[in-house]
Structure 1
Amino acid sequence: MTFDGFPDEGLVFYEGLEADNSKTYWTQHRAVYESCVRGPLQALADELASEFGPAKLFRPYRDVRFSNDKTPYKTHQGAVVEPPGRGAGAWYVQVSADGLRVAGGCWRLESDQVARYRRAVVDDVQGRRLAGEVARLTAAGWEVGGDRLTRTPTGFAVDDGDRAALLRHRSLSVARQFEPAPWLHEREALNRVRTAWRDLVALNSWLADNVGATTKENRRR
């Protein structure tokens, strides 16, 4: 299947799901989800695979076991590329009624990965390399996210504010949101995602080089 954009019906589908997050609505509109959301996203991922690697499309169902929100379906469809052997540093894309979201980095780190991340941040060479890359991405319009402490962790110190802020991170990601626009329904959406993901290569490379894989893989969900 060739990617030709996300049909407007897919965004309308999610508008309806936000208003009526029920099995009845889902069942009645399942064909729209398959043809206008999941199908195009899979086609987009397939076209990007030769450069970034194969993507995993997430299930549309929410895990409500430990949530007060018992609505059964996600109001977006996401896909992630986690290149094997890197351990940290991934690419993400998501479509919803709000448009297209692209992101990268790491969203959850185990304790051994956090320890390596902190040691790299306080290292003058690697820490300044990360701070410079985050500053570049911020200036380019990316929003920095991730789980953060309110204070610098005990036993770590750096001599500049940018790295001090990075030290408080327990995970590090960046994201950009594109509101619905005509290009989203065209092949141009592929170019937008490819360009955005290329902009994250240096950040993901830093994470792969300095954080790597956890030794506690069996604890990941």
Structure 2
Amino acid sequence: MTFTGFPVAALDFYDDLELDNTKSFWEAHKPVYLESVKAPMVALTDALEPEFGKAKVFRPFRDVRFAKDKTPYKTSQGSFTGAAPATGWYVEVSARGVRIGAGFYEASSERLAAYRSAVDDERRGTQLASIIKALEAGGWEIGGDRLKTTPRGYDSDHPRIELLRHKSLTVGRTLGFEPVIHTPELLDVVRADWRTLRPLVDWATAL
């Protein structure tokens, strides 16, 4: 299937799902999900696969076993293309349009220690700081879980203390309702953005 963009029906579907997150609504509108949401996402990730690798298109069902919120369905359709454990590129569509991102989304205690050691290292740490600075200058939003305090074993006046506080590190931007999201050209936008984010993904993959 050739990617032609996400139709307006995809955004409308999630608008309605946020108001009526029930099995009855889902069953009545499942064809819209399959045709307007899932199929375009699969086509998009298939087109990106030769350069970035196979994507995981997330299931629409929430895991509510341990959640206070028991609504059964996710209110966005995301996909993740991995380069290393919990590290890679992301794209999603929701009622708020399309969002693009990359980074590492969680880390084991061993990998977190490796991340902080790399940030502390003058060469590797300076490299990451430069990558993040360039992305921020380009309008990207820096996210991820982070400590409010100083990580144990590091000084509060460390030149890269803000990066050391991160337990995960993500970068993203929202296209929102820009007309391009409804066109085949969205593929070129996502490809270009993922290329822009490749230095961050490569840095994290080397941990």
TM-score surpassing 0.5? Answer: yes
Contact 1:88 1:204 in 2 (8 A): no
| Matches for 1:48-127 after TM superposition, within 5 Å | 48-83=48-83, 86-87=84-85, 89-127=87-125
Matched residue, 1:136: 134
Deviation at 1:88, TM superposition (A): 5.4
Calculate percent identity across the aligned residue pairs: 48
What is the CA–CA distance in structure 2 between the aligned matches of 1:41 and 1:65, rounded to whole Å? Answer: 27
Deviation at 1:158, TM superposition (A): 7.8
Deviations 1:146-197 (CA, angstroms, capped at 9, x unpaired): 1111122121248654x11000011111111111122111111111111111
Code of the residue aligned with 1:195 in structure 2: it is A
Q: Distance in 2 between matches of 1:41 and 1:67?
A: 27
Once residues 183 and 143 of structure 1 are traced to their aligned partners in structure 2, the CA distance between those partners, rounded to angstroms, is 20
**Equivalent pair of 1:88/1:208 in contact (CA under 8 Å):** no
- Structure 2 unaligned spans of 5+: none
TM-score (norm 2): 0.96
Query: TM-score with structure 1 length normalisation?
Result: 0.90
Tell me, in whole angstroms, the C-alpha distance in 2 between the residues paired with 1:45 and 1:156: 40
2:172 aligns to what SS in structure 1? Answer: strand
8 Å Cα contact 2:86-2:105 kept in structure 1: no
Of 159, 164, 167, the residue aligned with 1:167 is: 164
Deviates more, 1:173-182 or 1:86-95: 86-95
SS in 2 for 1:108: coil
Give the superposed CA RMSD.
Answer: 1.2
- For the residues of structure 2 that align with 1:87 and 1:76, how far apart are their CA atoms? 22
Deviation per residue, 1:50-91 (Å, 9 max, x gap): 0000100000001111111111100100000013xx335300
CA distance in 1, matches of 2:45, 2:60: 17
- What is the letter of the counterpart of residue 140 of structure 2? W
Between 1:42-51 and 1:148-157, the stretch displaced more is 148-157
Question: What amino acid is aligned across from residue 4 of structure 2 in structure 1?
Answer: D
Q: Give the equivalent residue in structure 2 for 1:9.
A: 9
How many residues align structurally?
A: 207
